[in-house]
Structure 1
Amino acid sequence: MSSVSGIRLPGLATGMDTEAMVKEMLTGEQNKIDKVKQKEQTVKWQQEIYREVIKDINGFQDKYFSLSSKNSILNSSAWNTLTVNSSNSNIITATGTAGANSVNYKFEIGKLAQPARATSSVEISNGSKTSLKELGLPSEGKFKIELGTDEKGETIYSKEITIMSEATYKKGNGDAIINPEGGFKDEDGNKVDENGFLLDEKNEKIVEFEADTIDSLVKKINDVSEGKVKASYSDMTGKFTIESSKTGASSGFKIVGTDGNDSDVLDFLGLQGNSKSNKFMGSNAEIKVESKDGSFSKVLNEEINSFTIDGIKYDIHAVGTSEITSKQDVQPVIDNMKSFVEDYNKIIDKMYDMITQKQNRDYPPLTEAQKKDMSKEEIESWEKKAKVGLLRNDSEMRRFMDDMQKAIFGDNMSILNETGLTSHEDYTKKGQIALDEDKFRKALESDTDKVYEMFAKDSSSVMESMKSTMNKYVGGSSSVFAKKAGLEKTASAANNFYSEQLKRQAETIKMLQRKMSNKENDLYKKFGSLEASMNKLNSQMNYFAQM
């Protein structure tokens, strides 16, 4: 094409297809760009594959290493081999933990553990908006709440609370001065009354602090008690209540003055409750436990309504009688371990394929020109083959597999083998583990607590070691895989090995495209000059032909 006023036109004078000729002349430059784009696409795929692996490992950790997961293998209840039943779950329920003893008892709940509680006895006629003055607060009152003692035995107090029966008003700066224009003003010129209180546009005193109500009393107590006590008002009962967050005889609180001595500042509410020496006290749960044959009987006094004895966690819900029985059932533990092994092996199998598969050099990433001649299905099939072997012999993934083997077996190979956990015997399943169900079952039936101690009890256990090793590779923006491919929603997402490569390749592509564009413009200028010369020559020939 020739160029006229910046618009490229076909070679009308020369009869040449200048556009096709320029495109042909730029083939070398386009090939250079395509090669860098293919390399760029390869790196994108490598990063995507890596991030899929990271996602798989994180999913595995969330499923088995999170204590809140129903499949958690770190939770002691995951190693419980006792099925515990209650004859009346409305009264009491129980669950076993690892190493729990068998139970067969009758429980008689005489009393639930209660928090310390103080409840108003006066009539609160207007609900939570009732003013404290209306209830009998004579004037301003200051108090604190004694909340218990700390680890050193020193008394803990809330911050000071001030309550007022009357609103207070804002004072102006200095004395009231007669205003020549009428009324009074302060030294700053603000409108005040004769007593120096600031006035608003309606000549009403500006409130600094409102008179307190039940609502504001509740808020003030809750704001300073650090969650150790809670104040509330019930529209249903019409009662104001202060209640400790903990239950049991050791829980309690007291209303005291700013000096720490007993205070009567809230007496106008008529607070009532289980109290001793003006201190409101909680109470323990009372539970009578008997064996079925009557050979054993004991009364439990528990501070809270959820407690653990002999590996059994009990939760009491109401007063009454219920029987708690148990039987050994190791199958749920076996099933969860089987699932754990299968899911772990899927990750390792996937990684082993990635680092051992050979790359097919006949299937490089497609160029845009190649894609135009292919269907969507053909492109997908090609790219599936092109992605194979991109992480062959990846050193980080190989180290991960090796480190996981050390984390699992370490110096415990023989002990773990006795419990049924071994390295997979199939050489094509490198890095995978195998579970002998019969051995594992016998180990659980023989000594569940010993198995739990080996697998998951503390930081030296197999599972904790696996978790720690996985965290080393995917546990944050500074982990091994994050530095390689980046973790989404962290600083490493854009700051990693592959992303840095992609940035350099993008810069190279821009540089090559600029060079190609400059060469293309030069070629069109030359063809434009040729076109102009041919036009001039044709004009001259036409002139001579007419002579």
Structure 2
Amino acid sequence: MRISGFASGMDIDSMVKELMNAKRTPLTKLSQQKTQLEWQQQQYRDINIKMVDFRNNKLFNSGLSGSIAAKQANISGNTAAVSAKAGSGAAAGAMTLEVTSLADAASVSSGVGIGAVDTTQSLSALKALGKINYVADGSGNLSFTFNGGTSTITLNENTDTLATMVTKINSTSSAKVNAFLDSATGKMSISSKISGASGSVSVDPGGLLDSFDLTLPAVGHDAIVKINGISINNPCK
């Protein structure tokens, strides 16, 4: 054991600490330099990321002809009714657009319905009540066709109902129609999924749908718009 500076009168511990601090100075400087280099490395990394993003996204897109020659379309009037986009080849100037008529789809609908009906009852039960009429085979299966036989719907009188019939019509992609049945009146409507004059709906006679007194097909119509006074037909709504 020793007593600091007891014999010499000098504070040996303080002197040792100061000498050690002096020895640590280079290490401290190196640690500070390391931290500074790490900061610089992070800054260089951030700059590199921004440069890559500028090259790939900003600089590349600015060189496209569509970006250089971009034009803008401004709409006045009913902005909810029409939208417009100007390409690089669009001519400058004003254009007017007037909607003469909207497109509609071909459809057939009941003249006189079968009356109020429970659409969850089986077809055989409804037939027994005199609501509908059809001819089924020995297994209880029956079918009807659309549009000249291009699409056939097959049902079973014991397991199918009017509700499942409507579902099957709507889910048969080849039929390209939507069916709706009002249970309060027993009236049915069938419309084409294709709007405009090109869509068609016809129900081939002799099947279950004869019970609903579907009228002759109502043809679809194209939309008619006028652009700068020139009428243009369009099948879209």
State the TM-score, normalized to the length of structure 1: 0.26
- Which residue in 1 is equivalent to 2:117? 126
Deviation at 1:87, TM superposition (A): 0.4
Contact 1:135–1:269 (Cα < 8 Å) also in 2: no
Cα pair 1:247 1:283 within 8 Å, conserved: yes
**CA separation of 1:289/1:216 partners in 2, compared to 1, >3 Å: closer, same or farther?**
same
Tell me what 2:191 maps to. 243
Relative to 1, partners in 2 of residues 1:137 and 1:235: Cα closer, same or farther, differing over 3 Å?
Answer: closer
Q: State how 1:83-482 maps to structure 2 within 5 Å.
A: 83-102=73-92, 104-121=94-111, 122-126=113-117, 128-129=119-120, 131=123, 133=127, 134-140=130-136, 141-146=142-147, 157-158=150-151, 160-163=152-155, 166-167=157-158, 210=159, 212-226=160-174, 228-233=176-181, 239-256=187-204, 263-265=205-207, 266-272=209-215, 275=217, 281-290=219-228, 297-305=229-237
Letter in 1 for 2:224: E
CA positional deviation for 1:300: 1.5
| 8 A contact 2:117–2:183 mirrored in 1 | no
Q: Which protein is richer in helix relative to its size? A: 1
% identical aligned pairs: 27
What is the CA distance between 1:241 and its match in structure 2?
3.1
**Deviation of 1:251 (Å):** 1.3
Cα separation, 2, equivalents of 1:221 and 1:241: 12
Per-residue CA deviation, residues 229-271 of structure 1 (Å, 9 max, x unaligned), is 2334467997533222221111113223xxxxxx242221122
Give, in whole Å, the separation in 1 of the partners of 2:68 and 2:174. 35
1:256-304 per-position Cα deviation (integer Å, ceiling 9, x unaligned):
3xxxxxx24222112246x2xxxx53210122344xxxxxx22121111
SS across alignment from 2:163: helix
Instruction: Give the Cα separation in 2 of the matches to 1:77 and 1:232.
Output: 49
Unpaired segments ≥5 residues, structure 1: 1-52, 62-70, 148-155, 168-209, 257-262, 291-296, 306-547
Root-mean-square deviation (CA, aligned residues, Å) is 4.1
Change (3 A) 1:103 1:114: farther
Secondary structure at 2:75 match in 1: strand
Aligned ranges for residues 487-506 of structure 1 at < 5 Å? none
Q: Distance in 1 between matches of 2:116 and 2:67?
A: 51
AA aligned to 1:162 is T
Deviation at 1:78, TM superposition (A): 11
The whole-number CA distance in structure 2 between the counterparts of 1:119 and 1:109 is: 27
Matched residue type, 1:114: D
- Aligned positions, number: 169
Q: Match of 1:267, as an amino acid? A: D
Q: CA deviation at 1:80?
A: 4.8
* Letter of the structure 2 residue corresponding to residue 139 of structure 1: V
CA distance in 1, matches of 2:70, 2:184: 44
Q: Secondary structure at the match of 2:165?
A: helix
SS at match of 1:218: helix
What are structure 2's unaligned runs of at least 5 residues? Answer: 1-48, 137-141
Contact 2:200-2:219 at 8 Å conserved across structures: yes
SS at match of 1:253: coil
Residue 145 of structure 1 contacts residue 254 of structure 1 at CA under 8 Å; is this kept in 2? yes
Alpha-carbon distance in 2 for matches of 1:242, 1:97 = 40
Deviation of 1:81 after TM superposition, in Å, equals 1.1
1:143 partner amino acid:
F
- Aligned residue number for residue 42 of structure 2: none
